[in-house]
Amino acid sequence: MGAMNYEELQARARVMKALSSPVRLKIVEELDKGERCICELQPLFRMNKSTLSRHVAALRHVGIVGERREGVKCMLRLLTPCVLNMCECAMGVIRAEARRQTDLASGGKADET
């Protein structure tokens, strides 16, 4: 991955930011199971529907989620299942850090994913 200009870095940062909320990650996780409308997502969260709508909008805005109108509902789906890889990578970081903490406690050295 070569040197990037600032616009590219910003674009990437926007994608990361869209995924930097547990609520939005949970939405992604749910949509991975299949299409859902917001009204189906709502019972999974105890928050105002306007707030949930904004979280979904954030994901739509960067192109992670797409919508298809079906009567009164907006059916949502993942446009880029690639984001699941990102989640896996994030887990890698978390596991590596956890390992480091453990190894620190038991005297050893740790590294890498």
Partner DNA sequence: TTTCTTAGTTGCATAGTTGCGCAACTATGC
Partner DNA sequence: GCATAGTTGCGCAACTATGCAACTAAGAAA
Instruction: Decide: is 51 part of the binding site for a second copy (CB under 8 A).
Output: no
Q: Say whether 21 sits in a helix, a strand or coil.
A: coil
Contact residue for a second copy among 40, 70, 97, 103 (CB under 8 A): 97
Contact residue for a second copy among 39, 47, 57, 91 (CB under 8 A): 91
Q: Say whether 27 sits in a helix, a strand or coil.
A: helix
- Intra-chain end-to-end CA distance of the chain, in Å: 19
Neighbouring residues of 15: CB distance < 8 A, sequence distance ≥ 6:
62, 64
Nearer to DNA, 42 or 80 (CB): 42
Instruction: Name the segment binding a second copy (CB under 8 A); options: 8-16, 34-42, 49-57.
Output: 8-16
